[in-house]
Amino acid sequence: MLDLKFVRENKELVENLCARRGSPAKISEILELDANRLVMLKKCEILRAERNQLTLGAKGGKPSDSDLERGKELKIELSALEQELGLLERHIKEKLLWLPNLLADDVPEGTGGEDNVEFKKWGSLPEFSFSVKDHQELGENLDIIDLARAAKVAGSRYYYLKGDGALLTWALHFWATKVLVSRGFTPFFTPGVAKENTLFGTGYLPFNDVSMYKIEDENYSLIGTSEQTLIGYHADEVLDLSSGPLKYTAFSPCFRKESGSYGKDTRGIFRVHQFHKVEQVIFCLPQDSPRYYEECLANEEYFLQQLEIPYRVVKACVGDMGFPGYKKYDIEAWFPAQDRYREVTSNTNLTDFQARRLNIRAKIKDDLVYAHTISATGVTDRFIAAILENYQQEDGSITIPKVLRDFVGKDLIAHATTAN
């Protein structure tokens, strides 16, 4: 959420921002309401001053009947005005919730993922002497992915991971969590649901409501990411960041409707309604967020480098970044069967956008400032799809990446490990 004073003093900038980011917010309406608010504040000050004068005058003796009568009138007038002011301020806040975050100067223009700008690439693309299969075909042949039974049980875009597929997934997420803990992150298991005020506070509402699974007749939704519950953890708190940032990681299921993706990525486990993710979240002082934003990216790159999966890093363009984001990197892993890079992680510097909405502050000497937050993927189940495709052998078996072998307990997935 942007500061109201900033909006008032930078009307043209904020209007241009809303136009670039496709926000429906009307800045003129906000400023008109703000002008009314300032008038009402002045009226309240005048009434309070008059009330104080009456109180001071009464200290010298018994107040007159006219003073008593005026005191009663002031109480009624001030109460009504304060109530009206409170309603107006809530209305302004509702309008401010629709304003997107500011953008970093180097965010590329564009309307979608095709306009993202590559700025880093790592790894040599694997060469195969045979016709490669995609991860769905590989997983189904090995009986480690079952989409048909998942569709029977839960519908489309759900999946079972079984046998060595389940072991490989556990290994991936446990290994990534272990790495993050060694780098100063505190591990969490969080609630799988979040209240609406948390979703508004983190910026997922009102902008992204079509992707949320709302629980009918309840003030809850299933979480789309543990970012929501990790950031909400410190709502209405003053953080002690004097000795450094707070670094959190969580492993959780994530639920997303994927509205608007009908007919897109229908094969496999790439675009689904439920998946597992290890998340990185950092709370830091404003001047430190660029540094820790890069640190989260370094963690993401480390995971892919250790897994020896080729990737590239892109800067997300304006149209491919959620409204809460100030700047976003995506990492795209190489998928041989598709002959292209596909997004597997994202990393967003949210500056003070979420902290303002959730009232998360930090103390700097004698001042209180809004903290900055960073949210980044650690690993997701999309990594499993990338592993299957990049490590496939001619006979359909899968070589397990070296860093995961001790966790899985074998070097190769060569056949189904569970009965039909």
Give the 3-state secondary structure of 160-187.
EECCHHHHHHHHHHHHHHHHHHHCCCEE
User: Confidence class of residue 71 from pLDDT cuts 50, 70 and 90?
Assistant: confident
pLDDT in the model for residue 324 = 96
pLDDT in the model for residue 246 = 98
pLDDT in tens, 135-151: 999 999 999 999 999 99
Contact 278, 176 (CB under 8 A): yes
Q: Which of 222-226, 257-261, 378-382 has the lowest mean pLDDT?
A: 257-261
Decide if pLDDT at 419 tops 50. Answer: no
Q: Is 361 a catalytic residue?
A: no
Closest CA to 245 of 229, 234, 261, 232: 234
Closest CA to 264 of 113, 109, 108: 113
Please state the separation of Cα 377 from the chain's center in Å: 10
Contact 171, 179 (CB under 8 A): no
Please calculate the CA angle 41-3-34 and round it to the nearest 5 degrees.
Answer: 35
344 is known to lie in a ligand binding site: yes
249 is known to lie in a ligand binding site: no
User: Confidence class of residue 50 from pLDDT cuts 50, 70 and 90?
Assistant: confident
Range 59-93 burial, b when 16+ CB lie within 10 A, else e: eeeebeeeeeeeeeebeeebeeeeeebeebbeebe
pLDDT in the model for residue 57 = 66
* Cis peptide upstream of residue 100 (ω within 30 degrees of 0): no
Closest CA to 94 of 11, 25, 5: 25
pLDDT in tens, 220-244: 999 999 999 999 999 999 999 999 9
132 is known to lie in a ligand binding site: no
**Catalytic residue of the set 70, 183, 271, 405:** 271
Fold of 4-96: Helix Hairpins (1.10.287)
258 is known to lie in a ligand binding site: yes
Q: Is 21 a catalytic residue?
A: no
274 is known to lie in a ligand binding site: yes
273 is known to lie in a ligand binding site: yes
Q: Could you tell me the two tokens for 258?
A: 């994927």
Q: Could you tell me the two tokens for 296?
A: 């989260």
pLDDT in the model for residue 96 = 92
Percent of the chain scored above 90 by pLDDT?
Answer: 84
pLDDT in tens, 292-304: 999 999 999 999 9
pLDDT in the model for residue 415 = 74
pLDDT in the model for residue 266 = 76
pTM reported for the whole predicted model = 0.91
Please state the separation of Cα 100 from the chain's center in Å: 14
380 is known to lie in a ligand binding site: no
pLDDT in the model for residue 260 = 54
**Catalytic residue of the set 137, 300, 343, 389:** 343
pLDDT in the model for residue 261 = 57
Question: What is the Cα–Cα distance from 18 to 115, expressed in whole angstroms?
Answer: 19
The half-sphere exposure of 220 on its side-chain side, counting CA atoms within 13 A, is: 10
Domain residues of the chain, as ranges? 4-96, 113-413
Q: Token pair 């992150």 is at which residue?
A: 185
345 is known to lie in a ligand binding site: yes
Q: Which of 11-20, 262-271, 314-323 has the lowest mean pLDDT?
A: 262-271
User: Confidence class of residue 418 from pLDDT cuts 50, 70 and 90?
Assistant: very low
pLDDT in the model for residue 66 = 80
113-413 homologous superfamily: Bira Bifunctional Protein; Domain 2 (3.30.930.10)
Decide if pLDDT at 353 tops 50. Answer: yes
Q: Is 271 a catalytic residue?
A: yes
Mean pLDDT confidence for 198-214: 89
pLDDT in the model for residue 1 = 81
**Catalytic residue of the set 346, 356, 375, 389:** 346
Contact 240, 364 (CB under 8 A): no
Mean pLDDT confidence for 50-70: 75
User: Confidence class of residue 67 from pLDDT cuts 50, 70 and 90?
Assistant: confident
Question: What is the Cα–Cα distance from 376 to 182, expressed in whole angstroms?
Answer: 17
CB atoms within 10 A of CB 51: 16
pLDDT in the model for residue 417 = 45
**Catalytic residue of the set 21, 157, 256, 342:** 256
User: Confidence class of residue 168 from pLDDT cuts 50, 70 and 90?
Assistant: very high
